[in-house]
Amino acid sequence: MTPEGHAALLTEVQFLKTVERPRISKEIGVAREHGDLRENAEYHAAKEKQGMIEARINQIEDSISRADVIDASTFSGDKVKFGAWVNLEDTDSGKKVRYRIVGPDEADLKKGTISVSSPIARALINRKVGDEVTVNAPGGDRVYEITEVSWTA
């Protein structure tokens, strides 16, 4: 996991514990005052939210406890590794894309980050600028050329 991903998870778990947990506890208390709990939809919805929040807290804490934080800004070289920013060009369409290879908990395609375990990242690892890689995508095989590898945004 990158230092940024680690920090984001720490921030999220802190928010869930200090803001969301107390808020949902109050919601449960208010819903409980409405009477019979067997037919109280607000109470059941609040309890379900509480369960989801607790599950997310447990998931994040587990990820944090098992994480190896790797600062890719200290890396260099032209081979694609974890933490690298990779510029690609689709050899068929000419479309250019830029991805950063990160841990599974950090992957967000909208932010240009892909999981190290994704098909495209697996195809890129240990390749270098000028290499063509074939990615098995749901819509069929795609061929990309690596046009740049960098270690900073």
CATH number at residue 80: 3.10.50.30
Q: Supply φ then ψ for residue 118, to 5 degrees.
A: -70, 155
What is the overall mean pLDDT for the chain? 88
Residue 92's pLDDT is 84
132 and 87 share one domain:
yes
pTM of the predicted model, to two decimals? Answer: 0.71
Q: Which residue has the tokens 């098909």?
A: 119
128 and 60 share one domain:
no
Domain's final residue, options 40, 66, 92: 66
Distance CA 115, CA 29 (A): 40
Report whether pLDDT(126) > 90: yes
78 and 61 share one domain:
no
61 and 124 share one domain:
no
108 and 138 share one domain:
yes
What's the one-letter identity of residue 130?
Answer: G
Q: What is the mean pLDDT of residues 49-63?
A: 93
Q: 21-42 pLDDT, tens per residue?
A: 999 999 888 888 877 777 778 8
Residue 146's pLDDT is 93
98 and 142 share one domain:
yes
Range of the domain at 132: 72-150
Residue 58's pLDDT is 95
Distance CA 7, CA 94 (A): 36
78 and 124 share one domain:
yes
Residue 104's pLDDT is 86
Positive or negative torsion for Cα 17, 23, 25, 26: positive
Interior angle at CA 144, CA 77 and CA 71, nearest 5: 35
Share of the chain above pLDDT 90, in %: 46
78 and 62 share one domain:
no
Domain's final residue, options 15, 36, 66: 66
* Residues facing 113 on adjacent strands: 100, 108
Distance CA 13, CA 51 (A): 15
Q: Which of 63-67, 70-74, 138-142, 143-147 has the lowest mean pLDDT?
A: 70-74
**Residues 6+ positions from 127 with CB-CB distance below 8 Å:** 79, 80, 133, 146
Query: In total, how many domains does the chain have?
Result: 2
76 and 140 share one domain:
yes
**CATH code at position 9:** 1.10.287.180
